[in-house]
């Protein structure tokens, strides 16, 4: 198991030692000195059975927007699901009221991937949709119509997430004809800042493919999962597919993915390995052309062997010496003990920095709040990992 506590000299991250501030309160104010954590989403409240799949983005004003899936009838990935958000004006210590960003209205809307367009300051949000009457298994087996299947949408906000445009479909730009499942992230998207692709909006994503003609496979097998990238060079108006992992050979089955830009302009991709033959359950790879292609295949990630089969998040802190961070559970046999790892060699290896708690935990998203603080928005609970979505503030120092 990773370390529960760590020295700042060795690892560079510490959990603040102050008491937690729970969800509530309105917008406005400055972070209280005693703020360590908060709980923006509590399952069984606000008309939702469960909140899952968190993502976060810091707005140009410095406010923080936390997204999640609001699952109406249960914790299942299937059924009526809304994309919801809460806003914090004090660094994640207190939260404003819950708002519905994309309403399922009986169907499934989810996988929020937010990013700020650096040219305009506009908030761009990419999400996914499918009929509430079908399951991921049915979609992967090709048993649904195109209208029922996974589709991709984009929304924008010019008032820092207070209001959004209606979802606009971009499936024909984002999804290949033989793909069945599709999901953005989960977690935030990124805007590139370096080199010829500066300003590009880059969304890490994943898919499943149909088996080849004549195969006895159904398409439900893990080998047909793959990760890919989706990008826009015009602020989210039009979109193109970037790299596509289409090996489908069972050696690595890349799935839910996240991305971070490195100081030299390359993009590091981290992906969940869905029951592949490689060691561990995490994969890593690099792109030197803004996500359009990979330098080589996605490979098993050294240092993250204790991560179970689950989504994870990556974040590169600024500066030549800033570490690359990864967050995820740290028990290979269970979704629990949410840990932040650090890499000082741009993802070639990782070491554990701090474990937030030993409680059940699952999906997470990392966000940089300011010059000294990193936030972790993650699923956790006492009896199971989907009881709350907690926000934890960590000192970079």
Residue 336 is predicted with a pLDDT of 98
116 closest CA partner among 66, 190, 168: 190
Reading the block at residue 180, the tokens are 């069945």
Residue 168 is predicted with a pLDDT of 98
**Hey, what domains does the chain have and what are their CATH numbers?**
8-395 (2.120.10.10)
- Whether the pLDDT of residue 21 is over 80: the answer is no
Q: If pLDDT is split at 50, 70 and 90, which confidence band does 20 have?
A: very low
d(CA 327, CA 13): 13
- Reported as a single tens digit per residue, the pLDDT across 117-161 is 999 999 999 999 999 999 999 999 999 999 999 999 999 999 999
- Reported as a single tens digit per residue, the pLDDT across 94-120 is 999 999 999 999 999 999 999 999 999
Which residues, listed in sequence order, are joined to residue 284 by a DSSP beta bridge? Answer: 270, 299
d(CA 176, CA 149): 13
Residue 34 is predicted with a pLDDT of 55
pTM value is 0.92
- Whether the pLDDT of residue 1 is over 80: the answer is no
Over pLDDT 70: what percentage of the chain? 91
3-state SS of the chain is CCCCCCCHHHHCCEECCCCCCCCCCCCCCCCCCCCCEEEEEECCCCCCCEEEEEEEEECCCCCEEEEEEEECCCCCCCCCEEEEEEEECCCCCCCCCCEEEECCCCCEEEEEEEEECCCCCCEEEEEEEECCCCCHHHHHCCCCCCCCCCEEEEEEECCCCCCCCCCEECHHHHCCCCEEEEEECCCCCEECCCHHHCCCEEEEEEEEECCCCCCCCCCCCHHHEEEEEEEECCCCCCCEEEEECCCCCCCCCEEEEEEEECCCCCEEEEEEECCCCCCCCEEEEEECCCCCCCCCCCEECCCCCCCCCCCCEEEECCCCCCCEEEEEEEECCEEEEEEEEEECCCCCCCEEEEECCCCEEEEEEEEEEECCEEEEEEEECCCCCCCEEEEEEEECC
- Reported as a single tens digit per residue, the pLDDT across 371-394 is 899 999 999 999 999 999 999 999
- Reported as a single tens digit per residue, the pLDDT across 38-96 is 999 999 999 999 999 999 999 999 999 999 999 999 999 999 999 999 999 999 999 99
- Whether the pLDDT of residue 19 is over 80: the answer is no
- Whether the pLDDT of residue 29 is over 80: the answer is no
- Reported as a single tens digit per residue, the pLDDT across 198-207 is 999 999 999 9
């Amino acid at each position: 198991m990773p370390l529960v506590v760590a020295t700042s000299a060795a690892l560079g991250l510490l959990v603040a030692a102050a008491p937690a501030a729970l969800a509530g309160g309105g917008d406005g104010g400055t972070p209280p000195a005693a703020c360590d954590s908060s709980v923006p989403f509590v399952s069984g409240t606000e008309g939702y059975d469960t909140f899952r799949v968190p993502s976060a983005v810091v707005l140009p004003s410095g406010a923080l927007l936390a997204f999640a899936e609001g699952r109406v009838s249960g914790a299942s990935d299937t059924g009526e699901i809304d994309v919801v958000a809460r806003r914090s004006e004090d660094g994640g210590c207190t939260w404003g009221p819950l708002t519905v960003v994309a309403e399922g209205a009986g169907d499934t809307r989810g996988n929020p991937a937010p990013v700020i367009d650096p040219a305009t300051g506009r908030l761009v949000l990419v999400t996914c949709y499918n009929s509430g009457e079908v399951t991921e298994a049915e979609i992967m087996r090709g048993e649904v119509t195109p209208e029922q299947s996974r589709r991709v949408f984009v929304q924008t906000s010019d008032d820092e997430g207070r209001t959004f445009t209606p979802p606009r479909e971009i499936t024909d730009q984002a999804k290949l004809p033989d793909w069945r499942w599709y999901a953005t992230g989960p977690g935030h998207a990124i805007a590139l800042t370096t080199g010829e692709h500066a300003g590009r909006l880059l969304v890490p994503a994943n898919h499943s493919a149909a088996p080849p003609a004549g195969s006895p496979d159904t398409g439900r097998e893990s080998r047909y999962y793959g990760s890919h990238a989706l990008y826009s060079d015009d602020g989210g108006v039009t979109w193109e597919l970037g790299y596509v992992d289409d090996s489908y050979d069972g050696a690595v089955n890349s799935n839910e993915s996240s991305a971070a830009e490195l100081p030299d302009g390359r993009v590091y991709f981290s992906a969940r390995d869905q029951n592949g033959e490689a060691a561990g359950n995490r994969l890593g790879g690099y792109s030197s052309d803004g996500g359009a292609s990979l330098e080589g295949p996605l490979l098993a990630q050294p240092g993250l062997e204790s991560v179970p089969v689950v989504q994870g998040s990556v974040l590169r802190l600024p500066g030549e010496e800033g570490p690359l961070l990864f967050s995820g559970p740290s028990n290979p046999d269970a979704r629990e003990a949410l840990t932040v790892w650090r890499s000082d060699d741009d993802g070639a290896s990782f070491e554990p920095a701090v474990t937030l708690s030993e409680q059940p935990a699952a999906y997470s998203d990392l966000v940089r709040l300011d010059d000294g603080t990193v936030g972790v928005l993650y699923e956790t609970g006492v009896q199971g990992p989907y009881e709350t979505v907690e926000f934890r503030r960590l000192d970079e120092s």
